[in-house]
């Protein structure tokens, strides 16, 4: 079993000079001023007034490495296009870490970081044992000639996966507003915060607005 990994993101591509392109397209009705490089005020105005269509003029694709548990949540965002590592064609070899937290008693979507260190340590040991045992059974099944698409049923949700997530800047804005907010699982929120940082580097005007 490979060393446990931590979820990570990496930008694959983004519309060149994305902020300027969006501003240029937003001024389609004002061609005399279309080449104006100062677009920050315009884009802020579009956001505050709900003119979201202009943010469809730019796109971004991000590589995400995470667990199957979190990828299932990400794939629910259907305004994006996805490509994910296929366990039908390639063998699974790695797992993601998962910290133990307690269930929030008032919100079924929330957890709290208030477990004792003993309970956290217990969960960590049990998870590692489960992952090692599952991977051993998985590899044995493949050695016996079982197809990967069948053998993967033996693997836990902590199995690592990689996916590409591509969408318009409009889709990314709405995704980040949702998934960096309260109610998102911590591991998913960490991914969204990484992507948010990347997006703001590409479109500085979004800082403080998403």
Catalytic residues: 179
63: which strand partners? 10, 164
DSSP assignment of 162-198, as one string?
Answer: EEEEEEEHHHHHHHHHHHTSTTS-HHHHHHHHHHHHH
* Torsion over CA: 122, 114, 5, 96 (sign): positive
Q: Which two tokens stand for residue 110?
A: 């929330």
Contact 9, 195 (CB under 8 A): yes
- Nearest-angstrom CA–CA distance, 152 and 136: 12
Contact 186, 111 (CB under 8 A): yes
Helical segments of 49-185, H only: 68-74, 117-143, 148-151, 169-179
């Amino acid at each position: 079993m490979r060393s446990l990994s931590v979820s990570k993101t990496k930008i694959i591509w983004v519309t060149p000079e994305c902020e300027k392109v969006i501003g240029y397209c937003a001024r389609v009705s004002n061609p005399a001023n279309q080449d104006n490089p100062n677009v920050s005020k315009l884009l802020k105005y579009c956001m505050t007034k709900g003119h979201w269509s202009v943010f469809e003029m730019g796109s971004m694709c991000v590589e995400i490495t995470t667990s199957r548990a979190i990828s299932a949540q990400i794939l629910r965002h259907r305004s994006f296009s996805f490509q994910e590592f296929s366990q039908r064609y390639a063998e699974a070899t790695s797992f993601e870490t998962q910290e133990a937290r307690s269930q929030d008693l008032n919100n079924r979507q929330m957890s709290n970081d208030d477990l004792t260190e003993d309970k956290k340590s217990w969960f960590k040991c049990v998870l590692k044992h489960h992952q090692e045992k599952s991977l051993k059974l998985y590899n044995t099944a493949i050695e016996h000639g079982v197809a990967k698409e069948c053998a993967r049923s033996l693997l836990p949700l902590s199995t690592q996966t990689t996916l590409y997530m591509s969408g318009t800047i409009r889709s990314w804005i709405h995704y980040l507003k949702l998934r960096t907010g309260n109610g998102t699982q911590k591991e998913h929120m960490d991914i969204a915060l990484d992507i948010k940082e990347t997006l703001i580097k590409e479109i500085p005007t979004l800082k403080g607005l998403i």
